[in-house]
Structure 1
Amino acid sequence: MIKLIHKSIKKGYKSAGSVALLVGWFSTAVIALPVKAAEEIDFVFATARLSVPVSSLQTFAETGKIDKNLRAYFNLAGATDEEKAKFQEALMKPVDVDAVQLSRFLNTAIGEDILNNLGRYISIQGGGNGRAVLKIALIKSASQPQGLTVLNFLDNLPTNIQINLDQILRLRKTVKLVIDGTRILNEEVARLSREATLLDETNFSDLPDLRQPGPYGVDEPQRILLNDTRRDREFYVDLYKPEIWRSGKTPVVIISHGLASRPADFGKRARHLASYGYFVAVPQHPGSDLRHALDLLAGRSQEVFDVQEFINRPKDISYVLDWLERLNRRGFQGRLELDRVGIYGHSFGGYTALAVAGAEIDLQNLRQECRSEFGFLNTSLLLQCRALSLPNLPTNFRDPRIQAVIAANPVNRSIFGEKGLANVEIPVLLGSGLYDPATPAIFEQASSFIWLQSPEKYLVVIEGQAHVDFSQLDAGITEAINSIEKLTLPSPELIDSYANSGIVAFFEVYISEDPDFKPYLSSAYFDYLSQRQVFNSYLIDRSGAEQLQEKLLPLKQEFINLGAAQE
């Protein structure tokens, strides 16, 4: 979404006319609330309350002077001189965000959920949820010439607020658990992978290099418009064919894109597979694709995605397979192998892939997870919780033609849960990135790998991978990423080398049923790929699941204890 906002700003959405419209739009909301602006902030503990006037913060931000009110808070917090200096800088540092688009996002169901969660920590004086005043202050501040700053935000609050420090301290503990858990996950997967590597004597330098294109070449992709009249749903599919066909049956793979993405974003993956003799179909999911996200930013849509996508996405896959069966008889003389199809899904596409692979939706588990106070630390949970608004959500979308699944950074844990994932009986490879803020590995892949009961299951962890390919981002967001101190990311080329190799190996073994590719599905091969790299990749199979579970068990208990302390 940040990427889209930056692109929209470049197209001229951030205009004087838009700002004027925004001010008029929110004037009625401001009038409806108390007319005096916030004069003070209460910092609230369980047994203490300390008030700091907003004017104290303004003076500190502009001059560095600390009056007695602010000094009392700094003393209570035990702030160091360095922390005070960073706080002063943070008060004045602007965030470049388009006010109109921010308002559109905050008016979506997901935006409201975010505000509701923030409103638990920053509430109206007296304890009421602060979501309404936060929303107004954020948008009004973003519309002003100096942009959105903490000080500007405080100045635009229509009433006094209180910051609930006990809850924030619990949040800090939870964040630390997430960080510690991610570190433990990385260390344990690395240990298990290296132990397995010691037992493998394969000389991979003597084998074909799966990082390179295959021997079959690639035709120019075709785009076909499909119309599922049963669902009144029109969407397109991009087809990638090998230039030279394999002898015998041609294996087929479907690729499902993620939220606010599009089929073209997976062209590199599709071409690489096609060069190894695969027929690849990449359908559009119109209720959750890039076009829908742009419609939201332009005011043509009211939600981040159409909640019916939980149903439509898996049905899109089955419809494409039905269509390919008809096309196979007419145009390909039956050469496509459509009884054993592989699927690769990224993010929301990971949900899609697991759904058609047999994972069943567990609404009881989803309701429980969506009640979690700290659930928003897992960004993908905001998406998954929207499924609860569907009155008649089917729980099973299994398509028996799907016989192997790769789910990269999948949205999956809460909507399927342990019970739902246990229904997947076909080979599964989960891909995970340790820098992924959208589907954090410790939430969305670690537990899922342990819960899967498939006899053939794999977990691939890529250090530094951050959910999306940053090479596709515009200059604005790239500049913002580069400005983050000490943040280093792996190159897209390195991530492609890991991903392309694993995808080809997995589908060759489980779709083409070629045992010659089995050595590539090993810890030793990913160790080989990682040689002389700053960011490593690791693979473990089901033999490491039990040890990983034991290592993560104390962390799970800490989460349980922290949750019990909150009740």
Structure 2
Amino acid sequence: MKKFLKYLSLGILSTILTATPGLGAERISFFYPPFGEFSLSAESLEKFAKEGKINSELAFYASRATPEQLAQLRQLLQQKFDISPVLVSQFTYSPLGEAVVRRLGELLLTDSRQNGFYAIRAALILSAASPEGLNVVNLLRKYPSDSLRLNFSEGLQVVNSLVELGRAKDQIVALIKQQTIAQTNNATVDFAQQPDLRSPGNLPFQITNLKLNDNSRNRTLPVDIYLPQASAAATGNIQPPFPLVVISHGVASDRYAFIYLAEHLASHGFAVAVLEHPGSNAERFQLYFAGLAGPPEAQEFLNRPLDVKFVLDQLQQLDKTNPNLRGKINFQQIGAIGHSFGGYTVMALAGGKINFDKLREDCNPNRTLNVSVFLQCRAFELPVANYPLQDDRIKAVMAINPIDSSVLGEAGVSQIKVPTMLVAGSEDIFAPPIAEQIYPFTWLPNPNKYLVVIENATHFSAIAEPTANNNVLPVPEALLGPNRAPAYSYIKALSLAFLETHLLNRSESRTYLQPAYAQYISQSPLNLSLIQSLTPEQLKQALNGLDPQPTTPAPKP
């Protein structure tokens, strides 16, 4: 009984609430054999949220929680999500949204112990449409039933798996940090006496805006070209044609998400092409949430790499006809940088193959706790084929918070032969670092590979602050993480060193691609680590029996 009561702590309850924004009606009931039926009223939670008062009913659970857990729970109950009912409706009626809500419905059952999918979806929409807005307490009030049954036994398994996943992540991040520090102790370079790669270069640049029409796929691609303006006084030995870097954004984003990086690289002598993917950019999501377009399609897993290939083809044509571009770009020196879905994009362009066997294993059914797999499983809808997505013109790639564990898997990632840098955020819950960056790093066969881990960084730490026009997916402040400025400086410095090393063969730039430099520029709390080697055996030893990729239990018939 003591162990049972421990599990009833509000830390567990807040975990369940965090994972599922709407819990239920007047009472939340759960049965935990052999101890019997338990319940908690929505009213007691509402009083606690609004007034901070713990009544006698809630006191039974609150006494098992720490003050920090209680504070976190109250903050969660008070949190209002500024999301329109149209947005909620569009998402929960999409294939991706339905998959997410159905998974929640396995844990949050109806009174008759059925999957709570329809009730949860209705509560989400009704809550978002009400004057109070979308919040946990309002969801409790809008749930279309007198009570909700929490599948407590399976819920505990999920919570235990999440706890184990968190411990596994902490142990592996600690291993990488230890390796970085250990290798730093042997460093001989005084970086204080070296050029600061975080600072802008000396080159001015101009931006050329293009709209490229791919009639064969009915896609119009906005592209901004950042071109350095060479002058003898400013450039020294930097002259056109300039090496080219292509930047691919993530889901519901646009070509401004990495504007700070495009400007930085251009100032150091790189031509930068920043494109938008019309099937998954911010504009598409705005239309989708307004009911004017369908959800992103599985075809995006093909179209995104094909977008980049088309842009490169068009730039080569424009090099012959456009006076602003003629002779300015070196098409023998091309690198690619992508974030999240854009990380997958550049890895596919680098040779990563869609892994239908792995997708079948992970998606039929999808039982993982990895949020990104919901998106990756959309690729399972594609006809099985060996799609020609690689572009041999691309000589090096940098993938920031990429998603690849299922859509590429080990068999797909192991096909990438070009120099690769993977960047992970330790607190990324949308592209979890162990599954999406750390294990994939061990699958890369090229010795010119780098794993960058930013401690306490989230999925959003590397992208620029959103504008009013592209902020289509409101993100709660708690998910944004610490001040992003240090992360921007890391991305600028490391991308510059990586590209100069592997596109321009500058040996002096390789000096920066070592753990000592990561330690030199690291700023707390976004502590920076960088390693070049890591084996599955080292990971296994660090995990000490923990499961790095736990799954949720299958629902009982």
TM-score by length of 2: 0.84
Residue 122 of structure 1 corresponds to 108
Residue 458 of structure 1 corresponds to 450
526, 539, 555: which one aligns with 1:549: 539
Residue 180 of structure 2 corresponds to 193
Number of corresponding residues: 518
AA partner of residue 254 (structure 1): V
CA drift at 1:162: 1.2
Residue 80 of structure 2 corresponds to 95
Could you tell me whether the CA contact under 8 Å between 1:404 and 1:426 is conserved in 2? yes
Q: Distance in 2 between matches of 1:463 and 1:264?
A: 25
1:58-100 per-position Cα deviation (integer Å, ceiling 9, x unaligned)? 7976875436xx78xx47x973595996699479636243333
Establish whether residue 167 from structure 1 lines up as the match of residue 133 from structure 2: no
- Once the two structures are superposed, the pairs formed by residues 433-472 of structure 1 within 5 Å of their partners are 433-469=425-461, 472=465
Q: Distance in 1 between matches of 2:248 and 2:314?
A: 16
Could you tell me whether the CA contact under 8 Å between 2:256 and 2:464 is conserved in 1? no
AA partner of residue 357 (structure 2): Q
- Once the two structures are superposed, the pairs formed by residues 11-50 of structure 1 within 5 Å of their partners are 40-47=27-34, 49-50=36-37
Could you tell me whether the CA contact under 8 Å between 1:363 and 1:388 is conserved in 2? yes
What's the secondary structure of 1:413's corresponding residue? coil
- Once the two structures are superposed, the pairs formed by residues 167-566 of structure 1 within 5 Å of their partners are 167-215=154-202, 217-244=203-230, 246-247=238-239, 249-303=241-295, 305-330=296-321, 331=323, 332=325, 334=327, 336-371=329-364, 375=368, 377-391=369-383, 394-469=386-461, 472-473=465-466, 489-530=481-522, 533-542=524-533, 544-545=534-535, 548-555=538-545, 557=547, 559=549
What's the secondary structure of 2:302's corresponding residue? helix
Residue 22 of structure 1 corresponds to none
What's the secondary structure of 1:220's corresponding residue? strand
Q: Distance in 2 between matches of 1:558 and 1:425?
A: 26
CA drift at 1:171: 1.1
Q: Distance in 2 between matches of 1:439 and 1:561?
A: 16
CA drift at 1:156: 3.0
- The 3 A distance-change label for structure 1 pair 169 and 439 is same
Q: Distance in 1 between matches of 2:467 and 2:254?
A: 16
1:28-51 per-position Cα deviation (integer Å, ceiling 9, x unaligned)? xxxxxxxxx966543023555415
Residue 19 of structure 2 corresponds to none
1:471-530 per-position Cα deviation (integer Å, ceiling 9, x unaligned)? 614799999866x5xx99443321121111100111111111111211011111111112
1:187-206 per-position Cα deviation (integer Å, ceiling 9, x unaligned)? 11111111211222012222
Q: Distance in 1 between matches of 2:487 and 2:188?
A: 25
Q: Distance in 2 between matches of 1:298 and 1:561?
A: 34
Q: Distance in 2 between matches of 1:116 and 1:555?
A: 31
Q: Distance in 2 between matches of 1:488 and 1:315?
A: 31
- The 3 A distance-change label for structure 1 pair 562 and 240 is closer
Q: Distance in 2 between matches of 1:429 and 1:55?
A: 48
CA drift at 1:54: 4.7
Could you tell me whether the CA contact under 8 Å between 2:346 and 2:399 is conserved in 1? yes
CA drift at 1:417: 0.5
Q: Distance in 1 between matches of 2:113 and 2:555?
A: 20
Q: Distance in 1 between matches of 2:99 and 2:159?
A: 20
Q: Distance in 2 between matches of 1:440 and 1:88?
A: 24
What's the secondary structure of 1:280's corresponding residue? strand
CA drift at 1:467: 2.1
CA drift at 1:167: 1.0
1:421-477 per-position Cα deviation (integer Å, ceiling 9, x unaligned)? 010111100011112222121221111111111121100111222222576147999
Q: Distance in 1 between matches of 2:293 and 2:506?
A: 47
CA drift at 1:55: 7.4
Stretches of structure 2 lacking an aligned partner (at least 5 in a row)? 1-23, 232-237
Residue 140 of structure 1 corresponds to 126
1:252-309 per-position Cα deviation (integer Å, ceiling 9, x unaligned)? 1111111111112222111111111111111110111111121123222232x23321
What's the secondary structure of 1:414's corresponding residue? coil
- The 3 A distance-change label for structure 1 pair 47 and 388 is farther
Could you tell me whether the CA contact under 8 Å between 1:409 and 1:445 is conserved in 2? yes
TM-score by length of 1: 0.82
1:208-265 per-position Cα deviation (integer Å, ceiling 9, x unaligned)? 11111123x1322111110112212111110001111734642111111111111122
What fraction of aligned residue pairs are identical, expressed as a percent? Answer: 32
What's the secondary structure of 2:225's corresponding residue? strand
Q: Distance in 1 between matches of 2:177 and 2:72?
A: 37
RMSD between aligned residues: 3.4
Could you tell me whether the CA contact under 8 Å between 2:439 and 2:536 is conserved in 1? no
| Structure 1 range deviating more: 91-100 or 442-451 | 91-100
Q: Distance in 2 between matches of 1:311 and 1:265?
A: 22
Could you tell me whether the CA contact under 8 Å between 1:119 and 1:131 is conserved in 2? yes
Q: Distance in 2 between matches of 1:426 and 1:354?
A: 10
AA partner of residue 306 (structure 1): E
Could you tell me whether the CA contact under 8 Å between 2:225 and 2:273 is conserved in 1? yes
- The 3 A distance-change label for structure 1 pair 214 and 298 is same
What's the secondary structure of 2:256's corresponding residue? helix
What's the secondary structure of 2:531's corresponding residue? strand
Could you tell me whether the CA contact under 8 Å between 1:94 and 1:147 is conserved in 2? no
Could you tell me whether the CA contact under 8 Å between 1:464 and 1:489 is conserved in 2? yes
Q: Distance in 1 between matches of 2:66 and 2:200?
A: 55
Q: Distance in 2 between matches of 1:566 and 1:432?
A: 36
- The 3 A distance-change label for structure 1 pair 350 and 480 is closer
Q: Distance in 2 between matches of 1:388 and 1:44?
A: 37
Q: More helix by proportion, 1 or 2?
A: 1
Could you tell me whether the CA contact under 8 Å between 2:226 and 2:272 is conserved in 1? yes
- The 3 A distance-change label for structure 1 pair 558 and 101 is closer
Could you tell me whether the CA contact under 8 Å between 1:42 and 1:49 is conserved in 2? no
Could you tell me whether the CA contact under 8 Å between 1:124 and 1:161 is conserved in 2? yes
Q: Distance in 2 between matches of 1:90 and 1:429?
A: 37
Could you tell me whether the CA contact under 8 Å between 1:251 and 1:340 is conserved in 2? yes
